[in-house]
Amino acid sequence: MTRHRSSRARRRLYGVLFALGAGFAPLGAQTPEDRLAELGIELPTPDAPIANFVKAVTTGNLVFVAGHGPCGGLDESNTGKVGLDHSVEEGYAIARWVGVCMLASLKREIGELSRVSRIVRAFGMVNAPDDFTRHPQVINGFSDLMEQVFGPAISKHARAAVGVSSLPRDQSVEIEMVVELRSP
């Protein structure tokens, strides 16, 4: 009886630690795919590249995920300039959606998102007017999603968030990232 309680208490503790963002999960804990499902996120089918490149390349234990904009089609909800056509909050939501699109390409490249040991670096570009200065708050949409999916121990990454005068197809946000995989 004591062992059963101890095991149950340990599972509760692990769950609390993970929920609090300790980035620690015991064997058998939720996978990134489980957390996506809890968030109500279904990964879309990755769009085909719009030019002569691939969405992701693996070399050694690193995956380079090419610059992604919003997938599933562009319209007035995800094109134009943040700070002019979109609020910072709308830009945040667009960056979050770009993160979902990137996870779809990453999953296609590596099979299971549980293979990710670290989000190493992200580079976010925000289509914005010259006087806009809140690029980091926009790209937080991507970074916050990565933390929700992978936990802080895996998701905390080096990052740049910059403003640009235009992006391909007038998309509002484009992000690229480098991911490290667990050794097999």
Give the chain's domain count.
2
pLDDT value of residue 27:
38
Compute the average pLDDT of residues 112-134: 98
Do 145 and 32 form a contact (C-beta atoms < 8 A)? no
Let me know whether 22 and 3 are in one domain.
Answer: yes
Quote the pTM value: 0.84
Residues 16, 80 within the same domain: no
Range of the domain at 169: 31-181
Question: Confidence class of residue 33 from pLDDT cuts 50, 70 and 90?
Answer: very high
Residues 155, 66 share a domain: yes
44: CATH? 3.30.1330.40
Q: Where are the alpha helices (DSSP H) in the chain?
A: 2-19, 32-38, 88-110, 135-150, 152-155
